[in-house]
Amino acid sequence: MENTVAKKVVLSGIQPSGTLTLGNYLGALRNWAQMQEDYLCYYMLADLHTITVRQVPAEFRQNCFKTAAIYLAAGIDPQKSTLFLQSMVPAHSQLAWVLDCYTMMGELNRMTQFKDKSTRHEDHINGGLYTYPVLMAADILLYQADLVPVGKDQLQHLELTRDVAIRFNHAYSETFKIPRGLTNETGAKIMSLSEPTKKMSKSEMGDGTIFMLDSKDVVMRKIRKAVTDSDGEVRYAEGKHGINNLMSIYSAITGKSFDDIESEFAGKGYGDFKAAVGEVVADELGKLQSEYERYMADKAYINQLLIEGSERASYVARKTLSKVYRKVGFYDPTK
């Protein structure tokens, strides 16, 4: 008998604010590609979120195009998933305003990411940065997402999404599906090579971040310089942040457990281990970079994919927005 059970819906996105990192790949993109067979996936370029921090317009436009190419190179298949630009789907901004009116100030005041980003961008603390979590809620709820792949730093925002959706449902009857978070424990949070207690970041300018387009020589150099400890033993343990991070990277790419890695490098020093990590990272990224260059050479193809994907996303999003508008009482003179 044919399986008629509808696939669960997944929604996720990354900000196109510069070259994506190894952390973006291992923690998100690679997992997204694996989910396409089992879920109905919507993957967006979160460009509306990106402008909470000032962008250089020409660079920003190019970064959107490059990020789309990276999505494709990482295995996002437009025949299986909907790939779209957030700013090309007006319903995101429209629903965000409605949800703003159902989100309490106290809830937004508790958002730790706003406090963190305000510290790092003291010269540009804007309203968009403050209400960012409400736009994220709109992103998720528009597509009636069942699951949202999130890093641990976004779980608070997802919880706010759930709270706002439940509040709206109680006020107007069932309107939004209540989403759940989906975290990937292995490789879910790749840390900086230079400050292994902090997440690997696109904005870091030193050697702590491996970018997805870094050459093999650059990858090897950055990993050789990675902060470790004086213990000298390749083992996963509390307090060994640098080695734990490198083991997480090696495990995520090779599929080996931490026990397997400890056995493989028993009696060997950090130099041998770093060389091995560098090789597997460079090999993984090298394959991706070849695909990336192929997509970058065909601008018309990527543009058409983004147009078609954004149209498909808009069709779904408008259905949810129409339902919301009707329930809150907006007048529609066409009906």
**Domain coordinates in residue numbering, the chain:** 9-182+299-328, 216-294
Beta pairing partners, 14: 45
Provide φ and ψ at 256, rounded to 5°.
Answer: -80, 145
Q: For residue 190, give the DSSP letter.
A: P
Q: Which of 66, 199, 240, 274 is catalytic?
A: 199
Q: How far apart are CA 20 and CA 51, in angstroms?
A: 17
pLDDT at position 125 is 80
Q: Which of 80, 189, 202, 327 is catalytic?
A: 202
pLDDT at position 115 is 67
pLDDT at position 120 is 66
Mean pLDDT for back-to-back runs of 10 residues, the chain (335 residues): 69 92 92 94 97 93 97 96 98 97 91 70 77 95 95 85 97 96 69 92 85 96 94 92 95 94 94 96 96 97 97 98 97 90
Q: Establish whether 199 is a catalytic residue.
A: yes
Q: For the domain covering 9-182+299-328, report its CATH number.
A: 3.40.50.620
Alpha helices in the chain (DSSP H): 22-24, 30-35, 47-50, 57-73, 91-100, 105-109, 112-120, 127-142, 155-172, 216-224, 241-254, 258-264, 270-296, 299-328
Q: Which of 66, 117, 240, 274 is catalytic?
A: 117
Q: Establish whether 202 is a catalytic residue.
A: yes
Q: How, if at all, do strands 147-149 and 81-85 pair?
A: unpaired
Domain 216-294 has CATH 1.10.240.10: yes
Q: How far apart are CA 63 and CA 315, in angstroms?
A: 26
Q: How far apart are CA 276 and CA 23, in angstroms?
A: 18
Buried b (16+ CB within 10 A) or exposed e, 110-143: ebeebeebeeeeeeeeeeebbbbbbbbbbbbbbb
Give the residue carrying structure tokens 């494709």: 72
Q: Establish whether 240 is a catalytic residue.
A: no
**DSSP one-letter string for 238-304:** TT-HHHHHHHHHHHHHH---HHHHHHHTTT--HHHHHHHHHHHHHHHHHHHHHHHHHHHT-HHHHHH
pLDDT at position 299 is 95
Total-model pTM: 0.91
Q: How far apart are CA 156 and CA 150, in angstroms?
A: 10
AA identity, residue 323: K
